[in-house]
Structure 1
Amino acid sequence: MNMIQGLLTILLSFWVVLDQQGLVITTWFPIMIALFMGLIMGDMQTAMIIGGTFQLMALGVANIGGSSVPNWGLAALVGIYISLRTTHNLADAKAVALAVGVPVGMLGIQLDVVAKLLNTYVTHAAQRALNQNKFRKMNLIMWLGPVIFGLTTAIPTALVVLFGNGLVKNLLRVVPTWFTNGLSIAGSMLPVVGIAMLLQVMPAKKYLSALLVGFVLAAYLQLPMMGVSLIGLALAYYFFVTHLTTKTVAAEATTTTTTADQGDDWDE
């Protein structure tokens, strides 16, 4: 069973990157990785909690202009696998996932750079085949690009599956409790950083009233997240319809005024 779970984890890490570069049937978001890892490892609750933690870290982070960013999807995948292999206690699992996942996610920056460098050679090789009218060869070469990206995640995942479990268990035997508790506290604080980064790219000042309503509902009325989300959806729909109606009325008024001002040929 452990061998099957490890193999499925490696295949998942390879497939999701291929899909990200192509059809985008699934996504590389940590919460989606957690869904699949929960099915593979048989502990959906712990996997989703860990995935949600990494998802909050990933909010507001985007590789704009081809820049490389931490691979939080890979971090969630590796963190969930190692934590569920090491312990079944939720608090300890979160600490282990953060201790292992965050460095792996940061390593994803270098791996992404390596993949992009290698793909420049793939592009030039495909261009040479195109110039020689060897279209079949060009198509075959272009397949190497997504495969290289897939290997940048599959190889680290394979190393973790083969060697990471025993290494982490040995580390946990010597790591003091206060250190793992500190990691748990850091895991609770890092999502706040992700939300703050997300607010920087959102029109928070324009919709400050909506933010205050959400804060009051969650902090004082203890409304569950689903309830707050539904109220947010209702407000978003109201703002959208109101804005659309206002633009439509303004456009109709402009059209009517223009037609009335033009008159007809008998007025000239």
Structure 2
Amino acid sequence: MAVAWWQILLLTLYAGYQILDELQVYTGLAQPVFAGLVAGLIMGDVTTGLIIGGSMQLTVLGVGTFGGSSRIDANSGTVLATAFSVGIGMEPEQAIAAIAVPVASLMIQMDILGRFANTFFAHRIDSKIEEMDYKGIERNYLMGALSWSLSRAVPVFLALSFGGNFVNSIVNVLNNQLQWLGDGLSVAGAVLPAVGFAILLRYLPVKKHMPYLILGFVITALLTTVFTNIRTLGDTMTGVAEGFTNTFTSMPMLAIAMIGFALAFKEYKRTSEAPKAAVHSASELDEGEIDDDEI
């Protein structure tokens, strides 16, 4: 299956939009998991898109940008990895390691180029401010978004338009002559989310909230074990008893996430009310004090 022209067009438009959403629109669609969802919908394989997008989301959990610094573009990497994975039948884990992560890293250079190009419109805005040209300010402000959008849209378009044969030849080599390397990339792609978790735990106050971390791990392990055993029992009963057609599903991650949210909200309420209680206690102590001018 090749990538059709209309799929290239839609993926290019999304690649140009997602950076603008991250900078000024803030709809939440500028996340790797949503990039995988959108790319999966366009390519006709949502499952593959979510696998790649979710894995890239976990990979960059602890990666941030501060002070205008550039970071890897996991969204563009997810779009290209999903497109090639579905288009040429590449394994999702292999696409993550061989396409998504390298492309995300290379896109740092395009991010820097977009920032430098944007300074041209910033200086034009400065001159329009001195001229009190409000229309010119608005026009150059909107034009400034163009450099950001093109910094993502152009590479994605070129890769999808001219990189298909190149990527296809790489996949054939990885699956035949260098199968050991392809298998290694698949393992590396599956391990990358754990690296993202490790980076995130490195910056989170884990020592301060260690009880919640342990509790979350134990709850997840217990519920996963219980529901796995129930599903196994149901599958066994289906094969033994005639007419037993009930199906059992595993514990949804949403339920586990809601337990974590409840604990986090409780901790937030406790920490936010503590300063108020301290101020209230201090005011009560001040009421009984006598100043020098009151004697």
* TM norm structure 2: 0.81
Return the offset for 1:188: 1.8
**Aligned twin of 2:211:** 209
Opposite residue 14 of structure 2, the aligned amino acid is L
1:242 and 2:241 aligned: no
What residue identity is the alignment partner of 2:19?
V
Whole-angstrom distance in 1 between the partners of 2:55 and 2:138: 40
1:147 corresponding residue in structure 2: 146
Q: CA deviation at 1:249?
A: 3.1
Please give the secondary structure, in 1, of the residue aligned with 2:289.
helix
Q: Which moved more, 1:114-123 or 1:219-228?
A: 219-228
Matches within 5 A, 1:7-46: 7-46=9-48
| Residue matched to 2:100 | 101
16-25 vs 75-84, which deviates more? Answer: 16-25
Q: Distance in 2 between matches of 1:248 and 1:138?
A: 45
Deviation at 1:164, TM superposition (A): 2.1
**Deviation string, structure 1 residues 140-186 (Cα, Å, up to 9, x no partner):** 22222211010011001111221222221122222222222111111
The structural deviation recorded for 1:114 is 0.9
Q: Residue 284 of structure 2 corresponds to which residue in structure 1?
A: 256
Which residue identity lines up with residue 255 of structure 1 in the other structure?
Answer: S
Instruction: Write the distance in 1 (CA, Å) between the matches of 2:215 and 2:285.
Output: 40
Counterparts of 1:122 and 1:62, CA distance in 2: 26
Q: Which of 169, 191, 194 matches 1:192?
A: 194
Relative to 1, partners in 2 of residues 1:245 and 1:233: Cα closer, same or farther, differing over 3 Å? Answer: same
Mind listing any 5+ residue stretches in structure 2 that lack a counterpart?
226-250
What's the secondary structure of 1:25's corresponding residue? coil
Where does structure 1 lack aligned partners over 5 or more consecutive residues?
Answer: none
Q: How many residues align?
A: 263
Q: Please provide the CA RMSD for this pair.
A: 2.2
Shift of 1:256: 2.0
Cα offset for 1:238?
2.2
Task: Please state how far the C-alpha of 1:56 moved relative to its aligned partner.
Answer: 1.0
Q: State the 1:38 CA deviation.
A: 2.2
Identity %: 30
